[in-house]
């Protein structure tokens, strides 16, 4: 029996070398890759974090004594396989800048204020329908020094762990209509236009809570021709 790999799914992966994204010049391989067989422990475990998810981890606005500054939003969606089937019990972790576009990380020293009521990290586990939900604040854009007057579009980082150590997807979720899209080499390193669209959330009026928070839907597909792109 012959199995055919759907090569069109590779378009969702950014190239290892994308000169417009300067750090790829230094970190992309310059020699042919060496295939290393997976070990049994990689295929069977350990799996990080599912049992460590605590009630409230999914609400980034309730992790401190006060509420963070910024536009409160709901981010939700489903995790699906290549056939559109739900993927339950998947650890979904997010991290992001605050509403001013600054991370709590010590390396981030650009002149924007930190928010004492916002750490910018959360986690959730998908239910039996593959559904997840976070409450957070909309992150701001920020300068990043890749080129003259370089600014990252507003985005949220996602990490998903499956049922084995090696089954991980790291990606970024963007917001619709961002004017910085044409100028961002990380976003555009995904060269397939349809794949880039899969990194953009959609405004969801049905899930918006009146007088409280706008909602954005972000469905994540783990494999196949409609796969959500990996972060470059």
Q: Is 217 a catalytic residue?
A: no
User: Of 125, 158, 132, 121, which Cα lies nearest the Cα of 74?
Assistant: 132
Catalytic residue among 76, 78, 102, 152: 152
Nearest CA to 227 out of 87, 124, 133, 131 is that of 87
Please pick, among 18, 21, 132, 142, the residue that the annotation labels catalytic.
142
Options 18, 21, 103, 132, the catalytic residue: 103
Tokens of 139: 């992150």
Question: Does residue 155 carry a catalytic annotation?
Answer: yes
Q: Which is the catalytic residue, given 11, 62, 72, 157?
A: 157
Q: In this structure, are strands 155-161 and 168-174 parallel, antiparallel, or unpaired?
A: antiparallel
Select which of 155, 174, 196, 198 is catalytic.
Answer: 155
Q: Which residues pair with 94 in a beta bridge?
A: 122, 158
Let me know if 152 is a catalytic residue. Answer: yes
Q: Is 142 an annotated catalytic residue?
A: yes
48 tagged catalytic: no
- The span from the CA of 166 to the CA of 114, in Å, is 34
Alpha helix (H) ranges present in 10-128?
Answer: 23-27, 40-44
Q: What angle do CA 184, 187, 209 make, to 5 degrees?
A: 105
Pairing of strands 121-125, 202-203: unpaired
- The residues that are catalytic are 103, 142, 152, 155, 157
């Amino acid at each position: 029996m012959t199995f055919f790999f759907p090569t069109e799914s590779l378009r969702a992966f950014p190239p290892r070398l994308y000169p417009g994204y300067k750090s790829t010049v230094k970190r992309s391989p310059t020699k042919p890759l060496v295939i290393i067989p997976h070990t049994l422990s990689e295929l069977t475990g350990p799996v990080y974090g599912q049992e460590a998810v605590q009630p409230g981890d999914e609400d980034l606005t309730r992790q401190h004594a006060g509420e963070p500054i910024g536009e409160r939003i709901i981010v939700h969606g489903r995790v699906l396989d290549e056939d559109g089937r739900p993927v339950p019990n998947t650890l979904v972790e997010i991290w992001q800048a605050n509403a001013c576009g600054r991370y709590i990380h010590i390396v981030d020293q650009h002149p924007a204020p930190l928010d004492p009521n916002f750490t910018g990290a959360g986690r959730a586990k998908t239910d039996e329908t593959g559904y997840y939900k976070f409450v957070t604040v909309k992150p701001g854009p920020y300068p990043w020094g890749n080129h003259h007057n370089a600014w990252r579009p507003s985005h949220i980082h996602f990490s998903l762990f499956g049922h084995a150590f090696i089954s991980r997807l790291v990606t970024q979720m963007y917001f619709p209509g961002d004017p910085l899209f044409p100028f961002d080499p990380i976003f555009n390193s995904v060269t397939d236009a349809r794949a880039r669209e899969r990194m953009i959330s959609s405004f969801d009026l049905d899930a918006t809570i009146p007088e409280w928070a706008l909602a954005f839907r972000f469905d994540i597909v783990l494999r196949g021709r409609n796969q959500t792109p990996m972060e470059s």
